Amino acid sequence: MESMYGSVCYVGVDIDPELKYPKGAARITFSTTKSFVSAIGGKFVNIPHGDCSKRVEIRPYVMDDQMCDNCIGKMCSDRYARYFCGDVSCLQYYCEVCWDLIHCNTATSAKRVGHRPFVRQGDQTKLLERIPHHQQQSHHPQNQNASRNIPRNAARNV
């Protein structure tokens, strides 16, 4: 890892405490921000193992008790940030309000609209396909008429 990304200060393999067997996950701590950003930007690394090579995904470690880096709790009633943006252009924690402000406004943040958040779920970090607080509502103007059962051409027929 050092030869690919830079200085490493810790590597550990996660072990199941009951079975005393590796869980299939490991942790690595880089000595510099530059090394960390380089590893996160690469997303995957091939590690040689015997006669074959193992492709390993690199994910950021997401903590439960972090305040939003954007509003520092002011826009979310001092609740901890739910999302972590792992894109190298962000690498910050966001509450739901700030995630929408920074990532979902196509007029002001077109480059960030495609970013997906990491969340902490138990002892795992998951990359979300969809934003949970968006599942109840439609943000697409085309779908608003359909959700109210109004034909698209209703304005022309009046």
Structural domain includes residue 150:
no
- The answer on 43 and 84 residing in a single domain is no
Residue 18 lies in a domain: yes
Residues 78 and 110 in one domain: yes
Query: What's the CA gap between 106 and 4, in Å, rounded?
Result: 35
157: in domain = no
Which of 36, 57, 78 is the C-terminal boundary of a domain? 57
What whole-number percentage of the chain has pLDDT above 90?
A: 39
Of the residues 18, 39, 57, which one is the last residue of a structural domain? 57
Whether residues 44 and 9 share a domain: the answer is yes
**Which residues span the domain enclosing 18?**
2-57
What average pLDDT is seen over the chain? 82
pLDDT score for 156: 36
Which residues have a Cβ under 8 Å from the Cβ of 53 and sit 6 or more positions away? 46, 47
Angle ∠(3,5,66) on CA atoms, nearest 5: 145
The answer to whether 81 touches 66, Cβ cutoff 8 Å, is: yes
Please tell me whether residues 120 and 91 are part of one structural domain: yes
CATH number at residue 65: 4.10.640
Residues 12 and 40 in one domain: yes
Cα torsion 132, 25, 12, 55 to 10°: value is -110
Counting DSSP H helices and E strands in the chain, the numbers are 5, 8
Element (H, E) at 155: helix 154-157
Q: How would residue 87 be classed by pLDDT, with cut points 50, 70 and 90?
A: very high
72 within a domain of the structure (yes/no): yes
**Residue 156 belongs to a domain:** no
- pLDDT band, very low/low/confident/very high, at 132 (cuts 50, 70, 90): confident
User: Which of 37, 96, 100, 93 minimizes the C-alpha distance to 70?
Assistant: 93
Shared-domain flag, residues 48 and 89: no
In a domain, 11, yes or no: yes
Split into its structural domains, the chain has a count of 2
